[in-house]
Amino acid sequence: MNTETGNIYKELGISENVYQFSMEILDSLSARFCEIDKNAEYNQLKVIKAMQDNKVSEACLLGTTGYGYNDLGRDTLEAVYASVFHTQDALVRPQITCGTHALALALMSNLRPGDELLSPVGKPYDTLEEVIGIRPSKGSLAEYGITYKQVGLLEDGSFDYESIKKAVNAKTRLVTIQRSKGYQTRPTLSVKKIGELIAFIKGIKPDVICMVDNCYGEFVERSEPTDVGADMVVGSLIKNPGGGLAPIGGYIAGTKECVENAAYRLTSPGLGKEVGASLGILKDFYQGLFLAPTVTAGALKGAIFAANAYEKLGFSVVPNSTEPRHDIIQAVTFGTPEGVIAFCKGIQAAAPVDSFVTPEPWDMPGYDSKVIMAAGAFVSGSSIELSADGPVTPPYAVYFQGGLTFEHARFGIMKSLQSVVDAGIVTL
């Protein structure tokens, strides 16, 4: 630790033991990190090519006000997203307030009364339960006479093809596939697996719309779900594709018809994509997308570092230390409330913003148990920035993700280790 870098870690509260332990883990990961860098290189070039092909110019970085007619920057950005995802069109707007809004918009605009929605990968993300009406809610799809069917994954995480086949019927109009496991224990789906599922469903009913909830999955692999048959991918700009710079927003990329439907619902029938001023936000959207491949790579490396460190200390980690990655989320099961709390305190203490505050478990609306959250982000609630949260309830698992740079993600995990060691939960 007697180097310039070792010294500054010491000044930031990292002990000799934690430093040495972390260095050993990191040394063992260089081949894996090299693979991630190669993917980042490919995806970086994919984004640059999309920007060049669509002639992004300095004028595109400026915004419009009022109605936002003829917004060159907005229209070009949407063409860039369509190029990146290899789709006919895209809707990328600051007026889409978050990921849930983007997903709700895609569903509500592409389903009509009497249609049925199918999830063949089990329960969707928590917030979608109210969108669909699984939990009764004002304005849900259920209120508009849109029914819902769900088929769970099999015990081993594979698709239940037999039950999916039975669930597809004359009313089935749209199939929603969540790529990331979110806060569940099922495995995250690879793009290849999503492709197999879509091929199977289209084999039964060719005209069904296949939508993928792409949250946390963008740029983790070289291909995206729209490269393997998805009609629409949907996500949040304060996760991977915003590269940490987008302060708000969501996107829908897909077929001309799906995107058109979404645009008419977001603004108004008759207006569609033609309105929606971009104000001054476009430079951050472009620059964020430009940074997204390397930011995502840094977050992935952080997740792999954490999996390896905590697995070595005897904790159960999902994904485990060696398995392939399809999103940026890492779960660590501590088995005790003290472990979850100590981990989150460490992540908070590593933040560039609000490092001096102490996260405490609280009764968050919509949860049965207390939840503890660590986030010291430049963009409020941004989970491409280093962040962690855990419901303080058995099995006492913490979920963490992000890191705008690998250097920060790595420091955050070292601080979490220090906090867990200082709390006497493990000894190194």
Ligand X SMILES: *Cc1c(COP(=O)(O)O)cnc(C)c1O
Binding site for ligand X (CB under 6 A): 98-100, 103, 125, 127, 178, 180, 182, 213, 215-216, 236
- Measured at the CA of 319, the angle between CA 213 and CA 296, to 5 degrees, comes to 55
Q: Which is nearer to ligand X, 99 or 302 (CB)?
A: 99
> Rounded to an integer, what distance in angstroms lies between the CA atom of residue 132 and that of residue 125?
11
Query: What are the beta bridge partners of residue 233?
Result: 212, 253
Paired tokens of 303: 């997740």
> Rounded to an integer, what distance in angstroms lies between the CA atom of residue 146 and that of residue 109?
12
State in angstroms the smallest separation of the CB of 266 from ligand X.
16
Q: Which is nearer to ligand X, 216 or 219 (CB)?
A: 216
State in angstroms the smallest separation of the CB of 127 from ligand X.
6
User: H-helix or E-strand containing 74?
Assistant: helix 72-84
Give the type of residue at 52: Q
Largest CA distance in the chain: 70
If one counts every other C-beta atom within 10 angstroms of the C-beta of residue 247, the result is 17
State in angstroms the smallest separation of the CB of 108 from ligand X.
15
> Rounded to an integer, what distance in angstroms lies between the CA atom of residue 209 and that of residue 3?
57
- Measured at the CA of 409, the angle between CA 182 and CA 405, to 5 degrees, comes to 105
State in angstroms the smallest separation of the CB of 388 from ligand X.
14
Q: Which is nearer to ligand X, 122 or 337 (CB)?
A: 122
Q: Which is nearer to ligand X, 68 or 402 (CB)?
A: 402
| Phi/psi of residue 333, nearest 5 degrees | -95, 120
Residue in the shown chain whose Cβ atom is closest to ligand X? 99
- Of 378, 375, 396, 372, nearest in space to 386 by CA: 375
DSSP 170-214: TTEEEEEEE-S-TTSSSPPPPHHHHHHHHHHHHHH-TT-EEEEE-
> Rounded to an integer, what distance in angstroms lies between the CA atom of residue 283 and that of residue 273?
19
State in angstroms the smallest separation of the CB of 29 from ligand X.
25
Paired tokens of 85: 């995802």
Q: Which is nearer to ligand X, 79 or 246 (CB)?
A: 246
State in angstroms the smallest separation of the CB of 299 from ligand X.
13
Q: Which is nearer to ligand X, 249 or 376 (CB)?
A: 249
Helix extents (H) in 350-426: 406-422
State in angstroms the smallest separation of the CB of 351 from ligand X.
19
State in angstroms the smallest separation of the CB of 257 from ligand X.
23
Q: Which is nearer to ligand X, 63 or 124 (CB)?
A: 124
Q: Which is nearer to ligand X, 17 or 127 (CB)?
A: 127
Give the type of residue at 240: N
| Phi/psi of residue 134, nearest 5 degrees | -60, -45
Q: Are strands 116-119 and 147-150 parallel, antiparallel or unpaired?
A: parallel
DSSP 302-371: HHHHHHHHHHHTT-EEES-SSS--SSS-EEEE-SSHHHHHHHHHHHHHT-SSSTT-----B--TT-SS-E
Query: What are the beta bridge partners of residue 362?
Result: 371
Q: Which is nearer to ligand X, 212 or 421 (CB)?
A: 212
State in angstroms the smallest separation of the CB of 10 from ligand X.
36
Q: Which is nearer to ligand X, 18 or 248 (CB)?
A: 248
State in angstroms the smallest separation of the CB of 338 from ligand X.
27
Number of H helices, E strands in the chain: 12, 12
